[in-house]
Structure 1
Amino acid sequence: MSDSEAVPPPGCPAHGGRIPLYGPEFAANPQEYYEYMRLYGPTAPVELAPGVEATLVTDYAAALRLLQDSNTFRKDARRWRDLNEGRISPDSPVLPLLAYRPNCMFSDGAEHLRLRQAVTDTLAKVNPRRLSDSTRKISDYLIAQFSGRGSVDLMNDYAKQLPLFVFNELFGCPAEIGDRVLFGITGIFDGVKAEQANQVLAEAVTELVAIKRRKPENDVTSWLMQHPNQLTDEEMAQQLVLLLGAGGEPERNLIGNTLHLLFTDDHYTTNGLLDKAIEDTLWEAPPMSNYAPHYAASDIEFAGQKVRAGDLMVVSFAAANSSPALAEARQAGGDRAHLAWSAGPHACPSKEPARLIATTAIENLLNRLPDIQLAVPEDSLTWRPGPFNRALASLPARFTPIPAAPGARPQVAAVQPRPMPAHTPVSAPAGYDAAARKPAEPVGVWSSFLSWLKR
């Protein structure tokens, strides 16, 4: 690549070095970075966090090849050479999303098939009507918290909380466990005290598994536990971490990014094109813009570049979706050829439920607050830094306040979960009876929601 080919984006190394994907400059204008990366070819050298190097696949055809070739590229993060050789800091903010866990996303071969089948069979039992009703009920609760004010931050007071509430209910989380699940998932993806948040989440799901072993119910956790593939308690806990995390953060961003599109392009709202708005969001602002970590099984040449065994390879769904070669296919009607849900054997197993949650959440919001609109100039919005997500930091909106109806349930102030101590254990000690432990006093948003339901 010659000096005359392009000027690097702000914050990007001028020559040779790795391109950082974690600063505010990248978050503000990732497409400018992707255009620059294409000058390297189908892949580019990047840095996901300080000291965490990876190869980013930016070309659509190359991304498909990697995602579909499970012999050449493996998912088991125990192959990650840089981690094994001590070059990754144990407190790196991206480690909780990249380090090995015994779940279907980080496994290969027969083990992947066994765990994946248990997950897909379990998710197939989720009734769409129940999911829609649950989403609408939770949406009503969240809207009730701000409908009388006339203003709201839709990212932090709606899009961020709604998916986690939905999954807490589907997975049968009791109040105190649900509060810690919200705290853990939020901390991992926000990169704030990520190691502590990871510990909190691990303990919460371990306790949830213990409770459902004692008393299974009509929920996703119990169904997964009863699957013929007979997952161990550790496997159960790790699948729950995966499902709760994969269900929370991408759904939050899908709702937020679609609302952003609706607020800034009235073509969609004028013509009632919510489904189209969601699909265009998946194309142009996929909720997880760069992820799908893979590791080369051996030294190979891939897309014209030498790759060593154990190298971390990451797929840029956002860059692949905007590949120039794909524009013609999209215009020709291939509207769902995007990679927002990934592809191959590790493609998202719950894309239809995810669409349903987003559609219901946005429809209910617009029906309840029909004049809601962006409260600030679009160019004043900021995007959360991070290599993996495409997400607004906030989405301020305003609307005509709705007075509380006579006899309506009183609003319950949303309380942030109480931070857990740093020494919280990752798993329950031997003989620990989680179900018999006295529950803590309700302190978090999930506890508040359950209290609201009982009024």
Structure 2
Amino acid sequence: MTDPSPYVSERPPSGCPVTGHSGAAQLYSPDFAADPRMTYHYLRRFGPVAPVELAPGVEAMLVTDYDAALQVLRSPKTFVKDARRWQALAEGRVPNDSPVLAMMAWKPSSLFADGERHRRLRTAVRESIDRLDQHTLRRYVTRSADALIDRFGPAGQADLMRDYSALLPLRVFIALAGFHPSYENIVLAATTGVLNASGPEAARLSEEFLGHLYDLVAHKRRQPGADLTSWLIAHEAALTDDELVSELYLLIGAGTQPEAAFIGNVLRLLLVDRRFAGNFHNGTVGVEEALDEVLWVDPPMANFSVHYPLYDVRLGDVLVPAGVPTLISHAAVTEQLSMLPGQRIGNRAHLAWGAGPHACPVQDEARMIAAIAMERLLDRIPDVALAVHPAELRWRQGPFARCPESLPVFFPPDAFPVATEDGAAGAPPRWGLTPDPASSAAGTGQSSSSDWRRRVWAAISGKGA
């Protein structure tokens, strides 16, 4: 196994996470967002599954053991996806304005379906996606990436989360669904609010987005085109309008926010981890290896794959009551397995995409989009560095997704190349040519953004410290 990142401790820190009155770890707290590994280490003391709070008043069980996770994911006759089995919600014990309802409340989509109905909906989605021409999709992703880089490249600085990671998958999936590009801000606000689970505003944004999807379905019934919405409408499964809207809601939501987190986590890896950043220019480490590492270490959907046991069931020595939301901690179970020798790079046994009948149906497309995003940025802006010290980066709050809130970077604007029609541009990338942290403010324990920026600029400009 390669050397660990210089900025990530291989041992969980001491101490306990923030917990509620019941002792359940609060997955919505700022402390959890800052250091989830401490929480996972704490939860493992309870066994393969432990109690957590997803939001105030929302209790659940979180699986942190790899084998137990596979047991849940591959036992559809015991653990079902139908959220109408959520006992606390049915009994009115979940606040009506809870921010997690936008992600967890039942909808007539494949995400919440089981058995034959799930197979019918999933087949319609997968066969519609299979109609996409991969060459055309790749070309569209490349052009979308170049258009975004063109917007911030000449300035010599950007927030790669806001200006790139968040917008690239959004533009791709808006186009695939058949939306007009003018819907970009509407869809971004809705999907961000839903996934962040940051307040009651998430529910309002979700409802507003659903309204636009109903309008889109009605329009495509009248005027079909070469897009996923039209293909889903024409599929022999004969989806109802409610099913169509719910599948589009799922596709766009899962295709934008988790994908944005995926891209953002890979970008962060390139910017702070010398194993990857310093080696791209000499060919010893490639984009595919970086994607694998992120799926092992920081999977974008850290905690999700919600299931409901049909009856009281034991996972190890822990009793999981019927009707209690049981989530898979993709991050915790992957971390557990990655501690074994010979894991991570080149190994895709992680559970970042889930497993079993509900494994992500578009993981190949998601990986391709992320790979192109990396390649275009590396090709077109070869000299990039963080504008703040790595320790100053903040992580997005919420129980589900895991990614930085922002990635402020800078680069020499005079080195910004113009993309050509075939996508070729730029010189060999030199990401990660930054001072050793032992010789910077990080080595003294005194984090200084201005000092960090001055040293990094000297490194990438070749002018010395």
Common topology (TM > 0.5): yes
1:294-323 per-position Cα deviation (integer Å, ceiling 9, x unaligned): 001112223222222211101000000011
Give the alignment partner of residue 305 of structure 1, picking from 318, 330, 335: 318
Whole-angstrom CA distance in 2 between matches of 1:35 and 1:244? 33
Whole-angstrom CA distance in 1 between matches of 2:352 and 2:417? 41
Q: Which amino acid aligns with 1:319?
A: A
Q: What residue is the counterpart of 1:194 in the other structure?
A: 202
User: Is 2:238 the counterpart of 1:226?
Assistant: no
Whole-angstrom CA distance in 2 between matches of 1:369 and 1:403? 7
User: Is 2:75 the counterpart of 1:62?
Assistant: no
Q: What residue is the counterpart of 1:353 in the other structure?
A: 365
Change (3 A) 1:143 1:334: closer
Whole-angstrom CA distance in 1 between matches of 2:19 and 2:214? 42
CA contact (8 A) 2:293 2:344 kept: no
CA contact (8 A) 2:304 2:329 kept: yes
User: Is 2:327 the counterpart of 1:296?
Assistant: no
1:178-203 per-position Cα deviation (integer Å, ceiling 9, x unaligned): 44222211221233510111011101
- Written as runs of structure 1 = structure 2, the 5 A alignment for 1:4-403 is 8-12=15-19, 17-192=23-198, 193-269=201-277, 270=279, 271-323=284-336, 327-328=339-340, 330-331=342-343, 335-402=347-414
Q: Which amino acid aligns with 2:245?
A: A
Whole-angstrom CA distance in 2 between matches of 1:279 and 1:7? 28
1:14-36 per-position Cα deviation (integer Å, ceiling 9, x unaligned): x9611111111011111111111
CA contact (8 A) 2:289 2:345 kept: no
Whole-angstrom CA distance in 1 between matches of 2:344 and 2:24? 36
Whole-angstrom CA distance in 1 between matches of 2:65 and 2:249? 30
Q: Which amino acid aligns with 1:174?
A: H
Deviates more, 1:291-300 or 1:188-197: 188-197
Cα offset for 1:381? Answer: 0.3
What is the RMSD computed on CA atoms of the aligned residues?
2.0
Whole-angstrom CA distance in 2 between matches of 1:190 and 1:363? 28
Cα offset for 1:122? Answer: 1.1
Change (3 A) 1:53 1:16: closer
Helix, strand or coil: the match of 2:189?
Answer: helix
Q: What residue is the counterpart of 1:432 in the other structure?
A: none
Helix, strand or coil: the match of 1:306?
Answer: strand
Q: Which amino acid aligns with 1:216?
A: P
Whole-angstrom CA distance in 1 between matches of 2:317 and 2:18? 27
CA contact (8 A) 1:296 1:310 kept: yes
Change (3 A) 1:395 1:339: same
Whole-angstrom CA distance in 1 between matches of 2:344 and 2:313? 35
Deviates more, 1:265-274 or 1:144-153: 265-274
Q: Which amino acid aligns with 1:290?
A: N
Cα offset for 1:394? Answer: 0.4
CA contact (8 A) 1:183 1:201 kept: no
Helix, strand or coil: the match of 1:248?
Answer: helix
CA contact (8 A) 1:148 1:402 kept: yes
CA contact (8 A) 2:171 2:181 kept: no
Whole-angstrom CA distance in 2 between matches of 1:398 and 1:332? 30
Whole-angstrom CA distance in 2 between matches of 1:254 and 1:340? 10
Change (3 A) 1:393 1:378: same
CA contact (8 A) 1:181 1:204 kept: no
Helix, strand or coil: the match of 1:53?
Answer: strand
Helix, strand or coil: the match of 2:314?
Answer: strand
Whole-angstrom CA distance in 2 between matches of 1:84 and 1:116? 26
Length, aligned pairs only? 400
Whole-angstrom CA distance in 2 between matches of 1:79 and 1:361? 39
- Written as runs of structure 1 = structure 2, the 5 A alignment for 1:416-431 is none
Whole-angstrom CA distance in 1 between matches of 2:300 and 2:109? 22
Whole-angstrom CA distance in 2 between matches of 1:55 and 1:373? 40
Calculate percent identity across the aligned residue pairs.
Answer: 44
- Written as runs of structure 1 = structure 2, the 5 A alignment for 1:405-424 is none
Change (3 A) 1:404 1:394: closer
Q: Which amino acid aligns with 2:272?
A: T
CA contact (8 A) 2:169 2:259 kept: yes
1:17-56 per-position Cα deviation (integer Å, ceiling 9, x unaligned): 1111111101111111111111111011100001000000
1:276-303 per-position Cα deviation (integer Å, ceiling 9, x unaligned): 0110000000000000010011122232
Whole-angstrom CA distance in 2 between matches of 1:368 and 1:320? 36
Helix, strand or coil: the match of 1:173?
Answer: coil
Q: Which of 1 and 2 has higher RCO (CA within 8 Å, sep 6+)?
A: 1
CA contact (8 A) 2:381 2:415 kept: no
Q: Which amino acid aligns with 1:138?
A: S
Helix, strand or coil: the match of 1:243?
Answer: helix
CA contact (8 A) 2:48 2:63 kept: yes
